Amino acid sequence: MIDDLLPGCRLVPLTVRGDERGSLVAIEGGRDLPFAIARVYYVFGTTAGVDRGCHAHFKLRQLAIAVAGSCTMLLDDGQRRVSVRLDDPAVGLTMGPMIWREMSDFSPDCVLMVIADTVYDDSDYIREYDDFLAAVKAAG
């Protein structure tokens, strides 16, 4: 299953290496991902009812995987909005630049792991939706 959701945003099946002991997914930069891996972070223990994200990035590319539990990722390219439920540790969601994202409806056991192509850079964030729409318009 590979869905083109919005520009740079796809649901990507990950190869599961399984045997009688269980399952293992390996992700290698440049092979399983179209970028080199610069950073990995994960979100867990999310307070019930809160939303996270609510920003876009100028340049950052990421792959997000609900390695446990589930959450909803809303994606917005300034023209269209799509909502994806992440609930499978064998499926990743790529998120390209200039995509507004909001995460919600975290299950109590959700661990959302994100692989990114750059180290943390606060100046790459667009935190106001109106600023995001203006940047989309300016980009063309």
- Which member of 11, 55, 67, 135 is catalytic? 55
Cα 58 to Cα 37: distance, rounded to the nearest angstrom: 18
User: Contact at 8 Å (CB) between 15 and 68?
Assistant: no
Q: What are φ and ψ of residue 15, in 5° steps?
A: -75, 120
Cα-trace Rg, the chain: 15
57 in active site: no
- Give the residue, chosen from 52, 70, 105, 107, that forms a contact with ligand T46 under the rule CB under 6 A: 52
Give which of 44, 41, 25 is closest to 92, Cα–Cα.
Answer: 25
* Residue 43 touching ligand T46 (CB under 6 A): yes
Question: Looking only at residues 56 through 85 of this chain, which bind ligand T46 when binding is defined by CB under 6 A?
Answer: 62, 64
Residues 117-136 that bind ligand T46 (CB under 6 A): 120
Binding site for ligand T46 (CB under 6 A): 39, 41, 43, 52-53, 62, 64, 101, 114, 120
Residues with a catalytic annotation lie at 55
